[in-house]
Amino acid sequence: MSNATTNKSKKLTNPTETEKSNGSDEKSQENDITIALAGNSNVGKSVLFNELTGSNQIIGNWPGKTVERAEGKLLFEGKEITVIDLPGIYSFSTYSMEEIVSREYIAFEQPDVVINVVDASVLERNLFFTIQLKEMKVPMVVCVNQIDLAKQKGIVIDTERLSAALGVPVVATVAIRGEGLHELMEVATEVALNKSKNKITTLKYGAEVEDRIQRITQLIESKNLNLGYPSRWVAIKLLENDPEIRKLIESKSMQIVNSAYDMAREIESIHNEPSFAVIASERYFIANQFANGAQLQSDIKITFAERLDKLVTHRIFGYVISALVVGGLLLWTFIVGDFFSSLLTQAFGFFKPVDPQVSGPIVGILWNGAFGGIVAGVTLVLPFVIPFYLMLSLIENSGILTRVAFMMDSAMHKIGLHGKALIPMILGYGCNVPAIESTRILETRRERLLAAFAITFAPCAARTIVILGLVAVFVSVWWAIALYVIDIAVMFLLGRIALKIVPGETSGLIMEMHTFKVPSISVAAKQTWSRTKSLIYVVFPVYIIGSALIQGLFAYGFLTPVANFLAPITVVWLGLPVIAGVVLIFGAVRKEFTLLMLVALFGTNLAAVLTPIQFIILALVSMLFIPCLATLTILLREFGWKATSSIALANIVTALIVGGIAYRIIGIFM
Calpha distance 102→84 (Å, rounded): 10
pLDDT recorded at residue 142 = 95
Determine whether 22 is exposed, middle or buried from the number of CB atoms within 10 Å of its CB (0-12, 13-18, 19+): exposed
The stretch 237-261 carries a mean pLDDT of 88
pLDDT tens digits along 170-214: 999 988 878 889 899 999 999 998 865 566 778 888 888 999 999
- 86 annotated binding-site participant: yes
- 40 annotated binding-site participant: yes
- 67 annotated binding-site participant: yes
Query: Does residue 29 carry a pLDDT above 60?
Result: no
pTM above 0.75, yes or no: no
pLDDT recorded at residue 13 = 43
The stretch 343-350 carries a mean pLDDT of 71
The residue among 224, 239, 322, 316 whose CA lies nearest residue 280 is 239
pLDDT recorded at residue 27 = 38
pLDDT recorded at residue 149 = 82
- 145 annotated binding-site participant: yes
pLDDT recorded at residue 317 = 84
- 313 annotated binding-site participant: no
- 87 annotated binding-site participant: yes
Which domains, and CATH codes, for the chain? 16-197 (3.40.50.300), 207-297 (1.10.287.1770), 317-515+523-669 (no CATH)
Q: Give whichever of 64-73, 442-451, 485-494 has the largest mean pLDDT.
A: 485-494
- 298 annotated binding-site participant: no
- 44 annotated binding-site participant: yes
17-21, 242-246, 360-364, 497-501 — which is least confidently predicted? 17-21
Contact yes or no for 609/577 (Cβ under 8 A): yes
- 297 annotated binding-site participant: no
pLDDT recorded at residue 26 = 40
Helices (H), 63-173: 97-104, 123-135, 147-152, 159-166
The stretch 339-358 carries a mean pLDDT of 64
Model confidence band, residue 362 (pLDDT cutoffs 50, 70, 90): confident
Contact yes or no for 377/535 (Cβ under 8 A): no
- 147 annotated binding-site participant: yes
Higher-pLDDT residue of 132, 303: 132
pLDDT tens digits along 100-111: 888 889 988 889
- 18 annotated binding-site participant: no
The stretch 241-258 carries a mean pLDDT of 87
Contact yes or no for 387/337 (Cβ under 8 A): yes
pLDDT recorded at residue 336 = 80
- 65 annotated binding-site participant: yes
135-139, 289-293, 402-406, 417-421 — which is least confidently predicted? 417-421
Q: Give the rounded percent of residues in the chain with a pLDDT score beyond 90.
A: 22
Would you list the DSSP string of 307-322? HHHHHHT-TTHHHHHH
71-80, 367-376, 523-532, 631-640 — which is least confidently predicted? 367-376
pLDDT tens digits along 463-479: 887 887 888 888 888 89
pLDDT tens digits along 213-226: 999 999 988 888 77
pLDDT recorded at residue 660 = 94
pLDDT recorded at residue 414 = 64
- 45 annotated binding-site participant: yes
Strand order in the sheet with 79-85: 57-61, 68-76, 79-85, 33-39, 113-119, 140-145, 170-172
Query: Does residue 23 carry a pLDDT above 50?
Result: no
Contact yes or no for 297/155 (Cβ under 8 A): yes
- 603 annotated binding-site participant: no
Average pLDDT, the chain: 79
Contact yes or no for 35/192 (Cβ under 8 A): yes
- 151 annotated binding-site participant: no
- 42 annotated binding-site participant: yes
Query: Does residue 11 carry a pLDDT above 50?
Result: no
The stretch 535-549 carries a mean pLDDT of 70
- 54 annotated binding-site participant: yes
pLDDT recorded at residue 196 = 59
Query: Does residue 439 carry a pLDDT above 50?
Result: yes
10-19, 139-148, 422-431, 593-602 — which is least confidently predicted? 10-19
72-76, 357-361, 541-545, 547-551 — which is least confidently predicted? 357-361
Higher-pLDDT residue of 29, 118: 118
What does residue 182 show for φ and ψ, rounded to 5 degrees?
A: -65, -45
- 594 annotated binding-site participant: no
- 64 annotated binding-site participant: yes
Query: Does residue 331 carry a pLDDT above 60?
Result: yes
pLDDT recorded at residue 606 = 85
- 262 annotated binding-site participant: no
Model confidence band, residue 445 (pLDDT cutoffs 50, 70, 90): confident
